[in-house]
Structure 1
């Protein structure tokens, strides 16, 4: 066992700037696809004081294998892969690098909205096949349209600013958001479905909001709504969405996250012209990689400093 306290990273790498912050620790990597058994074995071997979570899940069994564990720090903003109740019961603090990937994910959401509204993928394929659809194709103009945001944290608010700049009316639902800018009109969740021309999801996944987008909520939407999800795949009932897209109730969907990741192949969305897919890369930019690593490392240091002082 190392003489220095250990930080386990559930990934294969960490930004050099983050490693500089963790210079007093031994950093142990679990690899890109760590399974529960792998993490349990590493924790038993190294008894880490902290974990930085990039990939995989951290259930109670992993925590029980690491009696010295004080903090589980997410390399990003979504902590749904960490059993937070188990962590709380064991006195382990769970922290997220809030806002570290906000710019990257908001830009991805905008890219998906534009791809859906402007038929970017379909027109590109048609052009490459030698077609010229100017006489028959009409895109959707977003200026003056209403976009409904579910979740108004760092990402949601940054995306709202982009939409406002395009002349869209921005409405949003988030029971925890305070001091919202004037261009976001807070509304009840029902109003999101009823009033939006475009809906974009920016909330964490909880057991309460799993399958938030389902047959019933999709039926409550305007016909021809655009749906974008750069948050968590579990927010959407995928079979219900597919049916809504095929019926025209949803004009197009832009998805960067899925119920099972990596996406299984074959998948019900494969080959659907009006569903634009990306492999959960909204937060995967060079800048966000550094920001998330540094944010996660700072959270580790902050919690360990406090727990050491109070010990």
Structure 2
């Protein structure tokens, strides 16, 4: 067995640039779809000093199986898949690669917003079926419309800047953000529901905001609102969203995150023409892959007090 400290990656790979930073460690991969039992076994076998979280959840039993564990580093910006209470109880740091995938996720949110407003998927299908709907179809013009941004971290602000450049009025809510840039008007969450033509979610999932988009909040929205979610699926009560789509309150929704991932094959989202769906790949680009890997590696080195060898 290696005498070098072990880093466990809950995935099948890591960017070469990140591995170069971790050259003083041995890296163990858990595979593409690690389950709790797999990770417990690997922790008991290898006793890692750090875990880089790409896929799956890091639960209290996994943390308990790692006697030498000192830091859990998320390969991304959201740490809701990590049992922070269990980690903090052991004095284990939980760190995120904040901002590393901001460009990628913000661009995905813009793409979903545009796909919804401009009927991109529907018109593509119609064209391939031999139809020419120029005389009958009208899309939504976003210039002059109001977009409500929930969550004003690196991703939310980047999305907001793009929307502002499209001449949209940008309003934003984030109880933890101070001094947002001038192109964002800070408002209450109630104002987000009442004023927005488009609502884009960019906040982490917490106990307080679980199901924040629900029957009540959707009822406060304008008729014909567009909902975009590139955050976490748990932010939306999916049954309420489907009802709002059926009754016309929500005209379209673009979703990159779901309550269960992947959704079950019989999920009612599938086949609904008012939904544009992508498989939680907002942060999955070649550039973001490198940025997140490097950031997660640097977070580990900093937490362990180690100077990078390259």
TM range (shorter): over 0.9
Distance 1:23 1:224 in 2: 53
Instruction: Give yes or no for contact 1:226–1:251 (8 Å, CA) kept in 2.
Output: yes
How far apart are 1:78 and its partner, in Å? 0.6
Paired position in structure 1 for 2:190: 190
Unaligned runs of 5+ in 2: none
Paired position in structure 1 for 2:122: 122
The SS at the match of 2:126 is helix
Distance 2:238 2:137 in 1: 28
How far apart are 1:179 and its partner, in Å? 2.2
Q: How does 1:1-311 map to 2 (within 5 A)?
A: 1-305=1-305
How far apart are 1:264 and its partner, in Å? 1.4
How far apart are 1:145 and its partner, in Å? 0.3
The SS at the match of 2:305 is helix
The SS at the match of 1:259 is coil
Distance 1:168 1:47 in 2: 51
How far apart are 1:262 and its partner, in Å? 1.3
Range moving further from structure 2, 131-140 or 283-292: 131-140
Distance 1:276 1:174 in 2: 26
Range moving further from structure 2, 286-295 or 257-266: 257-266
How far apart are 1:38 and its partner, in Å? 0.5
Distance 1:86 1:113 in 2: 38
TM-score (norm 1): 0.98
How far apart are 1:136 and its partner, in Å? 1.1
The SS at the match of 1:130 is coil
How far apart are 1:116 and its partner, in Å? 0.2
How far apart are 1:178 and its partner, in Å? 1.6
Instruction: Give yes or no for contact 1:2–1:46 (8 Å, CA) kept in 2.
Output: no
How far apart are 1:255 and its partner, in Å? 0.2
TM-score (norm 2): 0.98
Distance 1:32 1:151 in 2: 29
How far apart are 1:160 and its partner, in Å? 0.4
Paired position in structure 2 for 1:309: none
**Residue deviations 1:105-139 (CA, integer Å, cap 9, x gap):** 00000000000000000011111111111111110
**Residue deviations 1:31-84 (CA, integer Å, cap 9, x gap):** 011111111100000110000000000011011111110000000001000000
**Residue deviations 1:179-202 (CA, integer Å, cap 9, x gap):** 211010000000000000000000
> How many correspondences in the alignment?
306
Distance 1:209 1:179 in 2: 22
How far apart are 1:15 and its partner, in Å? 0.1
Distance 2:211 2:198 in 1: 18
Distance 1:130 1:256 in 2: 29
Distance 2:67 2:115 in 1: 48
